[in-house]
Amino acid sequence: MACTPKREEGLPRAIARVEEAARSGARVICLPELFRYPYFCQREDAAWFDLAEPVPGPTTEAIAKVARQKHVVVIAPIFERRAPGLYHNSAVVVDATGEMAGLYRKMHIPDDPGYYEKFYFTPGDLGFRAMQTRVGRIGALICWDQWYPEAARLTALQGASVLFYPTAIGWHPDEKTAQGAVQLDAWRTVQRGHAIANGTYVAVVNRVGYERPPETGQGQGQGIDFWGSSFLCDPQGVVLAEARPDKEEILLAEVDLERIEEVRRNWPFLRDRRIDAYDGIAQRFLEKEPWRDQ
Amino acid sequence: MACTPKREEGLPRAIARVEEAARSGARVICLPELFRYPYFCQREDAAWFDLAEPVPGPTTEAIAKVARQKHVVVIAPIFERRAPGLYHNSAVVVDATGEMAGLYRKMHIPDDPGYYEKFYFTPGDLGFRAMQTRVGRIGALICWDQWYPEAARLTALQGASVLFYPTAIGWHPDEKTAQGAVQLDAWRTVQRGHAIANGTYVAVVNRVGYERPPETGQGQGQGIDFWGSSFLCDPQGVVLAEARPDKEEILLAEVDLERIEEVRRNWPFLRDRRIDAYDGIAQRFLEKEPWRDQ
Contact B289 A238 (CB under 8 A): no
Instruction: Return the number of CB contacts < 8 Å for A and B.
Output: 191
Based on the residue annotation, tell me whether B288 is a catalytic residue of this protein. Answer: no
Query: What's the start-to-end Cα distance of chain A, in Å?
Result: 55
Q: What is the reported pLDDT for B257?
A: 96
Question: Chain A contacts of B189, Cβ < 8 Å?
Answer: 189, 192-193, 196, 237
How many other C-beta atoms lie within 10 A of the C-beta of residue B258? 7
Based on the residue annotation, tell me whether A33 is a catalytic residue of this protein. Answer: yes
Contact A237 B149 (CB under 8 A): no
Q: What is the reported pLDDT for A294?
A: 46
Question: Chain B contacts of A186, Cβ < 8 Å?
Answer: 196, 236-238
**Which of A109, A196, A291 minimises the CB distance to B126?**
A291
Q: Min CA distance, A58 vs chain B (Å)?
A: 23
Does A55 lie at the interface with B, CB-CB under 8 angstroms?
no
* Mean per-residue pLDDT over chain A, rounded: 96
What span, in angstroms and rounded, lies between the C-alpha atoms of A250 and A26? 10
Question: Chain B contacts of A149, Cβ < 8 Å?
Answer: 149-150, 152-153, 193, 197
What span, in angstroms and rounded, lies between the C-alpha atoms of B226 and B147? 17
Contact A277 B128 (CB under 8 A): yes
Q: What is the reported pLDDT for B215?
A: 87
How many other C-beta atoms lie within 10 A of the C-beta of residue A212? 12
- List the beta strands (DSSP E) in B3-158: 28-30, 73-83, 86-94, 100-105, 130-133, 136-140
Based on the residue annotation, tell me whether B106 is a catalytic residue of this protein. Answer: yes
Q: What is the reported pLDDT for B289?
A: 56
Question: Chain B contacts of A193, Cβ < 8 Å?
Answer: 149, 189-190, 192-194, 196-197
Evaluate whether B30 touches B203 at the Cβ level (below 8 Å).
Answer: yes
Residues 6+ apart with CB under 8 A from A61: none
What span, in angstroms and rounded, lies between the C-alpha atoms of A269 and B143? 12
Residues 6+ apart with CB under 8 A from A14: A1, A31, A35, A36, A76
Domains (ranges, CATH) in chain B? 11-271 (3.60.110.10)
Q: Which of A106, A117, A211, A233 is catalytic?
A: A106
The tens place of each residue's pLDDT in chain B, 294 residues long, gives: 999 888 899 999 999 999 999 999 999 999 999 999 999 999 999 999 999 999 999 999 999 999 999 999 999 999 999 999 999 999 999 999 999 999 999 999 999 999 999 999 999 999 999 999 999 999 999 999 999 999 999 999 999 999 999 999 999 999 999 999 999 999 999 999 999 999 999 999 999 999 999 888 888 789 999 999 999 999 999 999 999 999 999 999 999 999 999 999 999 999 999 999 999 999 999 987 555 554
Question: Chain B contacts of A117, Cβ < 8 Å?
Answer: none
Closest CA to A39 of A216, A244, A213: A213
* Cα A277 off chain centre by: 29
Question: Chain B contacts of A158, Cβ < 8 Å?
Answer: 286-287, 289
Q: What is the reported pLDDT for B6?
A: 86
Q: Residue B18 — φ and ψ, nearest 5°?
A: -60, -45
Does A150 lie at the interface with B, CB-CB under 8 angstroms?
yes
Q: Which stretch of DSSP H or E encloses residue B117?
A: helix B117-120
What span, in angstroms and rounded, lies between the C-alpha atoms of B151 and B153? 5
User: What crossing angle do the helices spanning A10-23 and A58-70 adopt, rounded to 10°?
Assistant: 20
Q: Which of A3, A41, A143, A233 is catalytic?
A: A143
Question: Chain B contacts of A280, Cβ < 8 Å?
Answer: 127-128, 154, 157
**Which of A130, A131, A186 minimises the CB distance to B196?**
A186
Contact B236 A269 (CB under 8 A): no
Question: Chain A contacts of B182, Cβ < 8 Å?
Answer: 236, 238
The tens place of each residue's pLDDT in chain A, 294 residues long, gives: 999 888 899 999 999 999 999 999 999 999 999 999 999 999 999 999 999 999 999 999 999 999 999 999 999 999 999 999 999 999 999 999 999 999 999 999 999 999 999 999 999 999 999 999 999 999 999 999 999 999 999 999 999 999 999 999 999 999 999 999 999 999 999 999 999 999 999 999 999 999 999 888 888 789 999 999 999 999 999 999 999 999 999 999 999 999 999 999 999 999 999 999 999 999 999 987 555 554
Q: Which of A33, A44, A117, A211 is catalytic?
A: A33
Evaluate whether A65 touches A19 at the Cβ level (below 8 Å).
Answer: no
pTM: 0.97
Does B104 lie at the interface with A, CB-CB under 8 angstroms?
no
Q: Which of B70, B106, B211, B233 is catalytic?
A: B106
Does A279 lie at the interface with B, CB-CB under 8 angstroms?
yes
Residues 6+ apart with CB under 8 A from B127: A277, A280, A290, A291, B107, B154
Locate all alpha helices (DSSP H) within chain A, ordered by sequence: 10-23, 58-70, 117-120, 149-156, 173-198, 257-266
- List the beta strands (DSSP E) in A126-244: 130-133, 136-140, 162-167, 170-171, 201-206, 208-211, 224-227, 231-233, 239-242
Residues 6+ apart with CB under 8 A from A221: A42, A43, A113, A114, A172, A213
Contact A280 B128 (CB under 8 A): yes
Q: Min CA distance, B6 vs chain A (Å)?
A: 31
Query: What's the start-to-end Cα distance of chain B, in Å?
Result: 55
Q: What is the reported pLDDT for B290?
A: 52
Does B218 lie at the interface with A, CB-CB under 8 angstroms?
no
What span, in angstroms and rounded, lies between the C-alpha atoms of B29 and B250? 10
Does B192 lie at the interface with A, CB-CB under 8 angstroms?
yes
**Which of B158, B274, B282 minimises the CB distance to A286?**
B158
Q: Which amino acid is at A161?
A: S
